[in-house]
Amino acid sequence: MAEDGGFGVYVHWPFCAAKCPYCDFNSHVRHQPVDQPRFAAAFNLEMASMRQRTGPRTVTSIFLGGGTPSLMEPGTVGAVLDAVAKHWTVPRDIEVTLEANPSSVEAERFRGYRAAGVNRVSLGVQALNDPDLRFLGRLHNVEEALTAIRLARETFPRLSFDLIYARPGQTPEAWETELNEAIDHAVDHLSLYQLTIEEGTRFHALHAAGKIVMPDLDLAAELYELTQEVTAARGLPAYEISNHARPGAESRHNLTYWRYGEYVGVGPGAHGRFIEHGRRIVTVAEKVPETWLNLVEARGHGVVDGEVLNRTEEADEFLLMGLRLVEGIDLDRYERLSGSGLSPERMSILQQEGLIAPVGNSRLRATPAGMVVLNAVVADLAR
């Protein structure tokens, strides 16, 4: 299971209608219409270049992320999916996810996306109360979000939506009520992220100026534990730090990242990690959409950075990604990647501190307490 994490294709649509104040993703606002056929042709060209590097492969998932991919016309989405099928083998039952915003305009395109081959939608709902949606800079309100959820349920076999919690002033009681309401509307998957203040965002400046007061670490930990309890009790347990699913409905695409599988990244700012000539390589594409477009048109790809990972780097990444999962990591695979096992002394100390736990004889996972401080746990283990 863990050895073959799959082979995913990620396509990045880098445009949004407005920039959310907490967002540090590669997203850009353009006031002129985007030339979608030109971008679709560039995606196809970049995939051809990637196909030369990966060789023939069977794709296990496709993910259209962003940015706001639901600003793409259904015809653009269809062209992207056709291009994937032109370059690699795409099985009939493949998971094809599209991230969508729940505005009414975008919800009108759902049928077109379904006809193009999308079978799973991930909706950026973010909050189920209007004041918090306004605070988060979102362009939709609760009524629109609920309408989009209903339409998505009618249109797609699978549906996830995102919520952001640990917002300023949010009490555990308020979050519990909102989370239960969200689960009432959920189908098979929820992504529940704590609000974080990222450098370079508008929230970062407001936070630095004291205008946003974030929950302290104890409250954030309490909200995290509450989230685990409520989702587990309602049949959507966590399978990763921030992701919850009915058993069997986990995002196959995201599992590819966390199980340290391979993926090709296409589009502005996209990252890829796949095996080339027997070594795991990293690709990083130019972030600015128009610059990326010019690069692809001139030379077939927009990759501007990349490296071949050495064994230590691979093993560290495997640890960092795999310990996010409730299933944890396969210790033998870690040993094969790194050339040596994890230190028994360090594992023993972290286990005594209640931060990690063995799973049978061959696996290791982070405990819920360990998940809250995962970066520190990984840094300690990987030393």
Provide the binding-site residues for ligand SF4, judged by CB under 6 A: 16, 19-20, 23, 25, 27, 66-68, 101, 124
Phi, psi of 377 (to 5 degrees): -65, -45
One-letter amino acid for residue 115 of the chain: A
Q: How far is the CB of 67 from ligand SF4 (least distance, A)?
A: 5
Record the tokens describing residue 146, joined without a space: 């609920």
Ranges of beta strands (E only) in the chain are 7-13, 61-66, 95-100, 120-126, 158-165, 189-194, 238-240, 243-245, 262-266, 271-276, 279-285, 303-308, 329-330, 356-359, 363-366
112 touches 121 (CB < 8 A): no
CA distance 138 to 113: 23
Nearer to ligand SF4, 125 or 329 (CB): 125
Nearer to ligand SF4, 23 or 236 (CB): 23
Q: How far is the CB of 137 from ligand SF4 (least distance, A)?
A: 7
Nearer to ligand SF4, 20 or 382 (CB): 20
Q: How far is the CB of 85 from ligand SF4 (least distance, A)?
A: 27
Angle at the Cα of 283 from the Cα atoms of 282 and 284, rounded to 5 degrees: 125
Nearer to ligand SF4, 68 or 155 (CB): 68
Record the tokens describing residue 371, joined without a space: 């998940």
110 touches 152 (CB < 8 A): yes
Nearer to ligand SF4, 18 or 349 (CB): 18
Nearer to ligand SF4, 54 or 101 (CB): 101
Calculate the CA 170 to chain-centre distance.
24
Coil/strand/helix, residue 126: strand
Tell me which residue of 339, 322, 377 sits closest to 2, measured CA to CA: 322
CA distance 199 to 178: 28
Nearer to ligand SF4, 193 or 369 (CB): 193
320 touches 377 (CB < 8 A): no
The most distant pair of C-alpha atoms in the chain lies apart, rounded to whole Å, by 59
Q: How far is the CB of 17 from ligand SF4 (least distance, A)?
A: 8
Ranges of beta strands (E only) in 142-222 are 158-165, 189-194
Q: How far is the CB of 24 from ligand SF4 (least distance, A)?
A: 8
Q: How far is the CB of 375 from ligand SF4 (least distance, A)?
A: 22
Residue-by-residue DSSP string for 85-117:
HHHSB--TT-EEEEEE---HHHHTTHHHHHHHT
Contacts of 170 (CB under 8 A, 6+ apart): 132, 215, 223
Q: How far is the CB of 125 from ligand SF4 (least distance, A)?
A: 11
359 touches 325 (CB < 8 A): no
Q: How far is the CB of 101 from ligand SF4 (least distance, A)?
A: 6
Q: How far is the CB of 64 from ligand SF4 (least distance, A)?
A: 13
CA distance 218 to 222: 6
Nearer to ligand SF4, 103 or 251 (CB): 103
Q: How far is the CB of 68 from ligand SF4 (least distance, A)?
A: 5
Nearer to ligand SF4, 20 or 230 (CB): 20
Record the tokens describing residue 8, joined without a space: 């995913």
- Residue in the block written with tokens 């379904």: 114
